[in-house]
Structures are given as structure tokens and as C-alpha cells.
Amino acid sequence: MEVVIKPAQETARLAADAIVALIDAKPDAVLGLATGSSPLGVYDELAKRHRAGEVSFAGVSAFLLDEYVGLAQEHPQRYRNVILTELVDRIDLDPARVHGPDGLAQDIPLACARYEQAIVDAGGVDLQLLGIGTDGHIGFNEPGSSLASRTRIKTLTGQTRVDNARFFDDDVDRVPHHCLTQGLATISAARHIVLLAQGGGKAEAVHQMVEGPVSAMWPASILQHHPHVSVLLDEGAAARLQLGDYYRQAFQAKPEWQGL
Ligand code: GLP
């Protein structure tokens, strides 16, 4: 894992640089998109670069990490709608090429299996953006998730529902109990993973992910097994890291041509 500790805006620029470089090299790249507040700076940066004519997403396709079960098509917090508003509507990415698990499917296991197949058929995810929950979840893989899991239905923890109540008028009762999420093995199949975290509320989860034992209790720790993970943190999210100074020195000394 590469850990980069910089102000949030700078980490957003670094992530956007990696995405633009990927699309330059591979105009039909497959992106993995995440909802939540952590990647919003990246989406702003991508929209800005698109407006400046620096990047086109016309050939790109995208897969979402997760989706709430049961939210109506038009519900603003349906993750597909969130990603359209936050990113897709601001760039030239064709909404028809943006795929997400179907939280309204009648046959949920079938919908999950089809989603897995769709990712494979697209050639796999080239670059996956991720946030991390305060309990160490990625996607909606809550503590206890199988490290080998694939897309499936999960029950959200009370903590995650409380964390996400801010998107539902601060009313935790309106946060769905269930979601469909790419599994930890699905996420791990992406070729490059770029995880962003900001603020002290994420510090313990980040420490466990990077420096703790690999354990289903901290699902993001599975990323220690991945050969190409970039962890982009602000000072708050990095506050609990044991090797913070080493990560800072390593990034400072890094040859620029390497990118993320
Ligand atoms: C949500 C999402 C995750 C996200 C996480 C952190 O539950 N399912 O994909 O990474 O919470 O959210 P935020 O980035 O808003 O802190």
C-alpha cells in the first residue's frame, strides 16, 4: 500500500491525475465509482478538467460499489442518482454506461450474479475509487464480511445507519436496513484501488486498514493483499498511523514519473 498524507484538495488532485492518466492511456477504461463524501473532491476536480477540455469520458464505462435496497427509482439518495448528480451529469460519461447493483430487483441473488458478470464482461475495473466507513467498511462490506465475498445483500450496522442519516434529513429511521454491495473479493479484483479518507473520525479505521492484522473485523484490511493500492489521507485521517513519518518521507522522495 502507498500512503499519501496531504491536504484533502491535494489528494483529490492526485486521484484525478491518476484517472486522467488512465483514460489517456486507455480511452475505454472502466472506472469503479464510490458514493459518500470522501470522493467528492475528486469528482469536482474531474468535472473541472472536463470543462477545461483536458479529459473526455466518452469511451469510459463505470460500475458502482453498492446500492440501497428498496429506494424508489427517483429517490435522491439512491446511489445511482447520487452518482449521476455528483459526477455523471457534469461530464460526458454516458449514463447508459454507468452500472450499479439493482436495489429494486425481484430476484436479488440473480441480480447480484448478473452484476458480477457485467463487471467481468466489461473487462474488469481498471481503477476503483473507495471511501472507508468509520467501522472499516468498504462498499457496504460491514465488519464480519467474508474476505472472499462477492456482490450480495448485506444488512447495515446501526453505526453505518447513524453515519448515513445525514443524507436522510438526519432521520435514522429513513435509512434502509439493507443494501447490495460488491464483495471484498469483487473490489479486490480492480487493477488499481484509490482510497480516500478525511477527518479524525476515520483515523482508527485507517490505522486498522493499513497497519492492523488482515481481519474481517476491519474489512478494508483485505486491501493489504492487493498489489496496487493508493491510500490518500488528510492529517486527521492519518492521525493514528504508527508509520506516518515514514509514509511522508517515502512520498516526498518518490520520483515524479511514478504517479500513484
Ligand atoms: C457509505 C458508503 C461507502 C463509503 C462510506 C464512507 O456507507 N457505502 O462507499 O465509503 O460510507 O462515507 P463517507 O465518504 O461519506 O465518509
We report the CATH number of the domain holding residue 145 as 3.40.50.1360
**How many domains does the chain divide into?**
1
135 among known catalytic residues: yes
Torsion of CA 82, 86, 91, 95, to 10 degrees: 0
Q: pTM surpassing 0.85? A: yes
What are the pLDDT digits (tens) for 43-69?
999 999 999 999 999 999 999 999 999
Separation of CA 36 and ligand 1 centre (Å): 4
Q: What is the predicted pLDDT for the residue at 163?
A: 87
Q: What is the predicted pLDDT for the residue at 257?
A: 87
Q: 79 and 49 in contact (C-beta within 8 Å)? A: no
What are the pLDDT digits (tens) for 210-235?
999 999 999 999 999 999 999 999 99
Compute CA distances 44 → 16, 62, 128, 244, whole Å. 9, 17, 17, 28
Give the pocket of ligand 1 (CB within 6 Å). Answer: 34-38, 65-66, 131-133, 139-140, 160, 164
Q: What is the predicted pLDDT for the residue at 122?
A: 98
- The whole-angstrom separation of Cα 10 and Cα 187 is 25
- The whole-angstrom separation of Cα 55 and Cα 199 is 30
102 among known catalytic residues: no
Q: What is the predicted pLDDT for the residue at 13?
A: 98
Domain range spanning residue 206? Answer: 2-258
Separation of CA 257 and ligand 1 centre (Å): 31
Q: 215 and 221 in contact (C-beta within 8 Å)? A: yes
Q: What is the predicted pLDDT for the residue at 63?
A: 98
Separation of CA 143 and ligand 1 centre (Å): 14
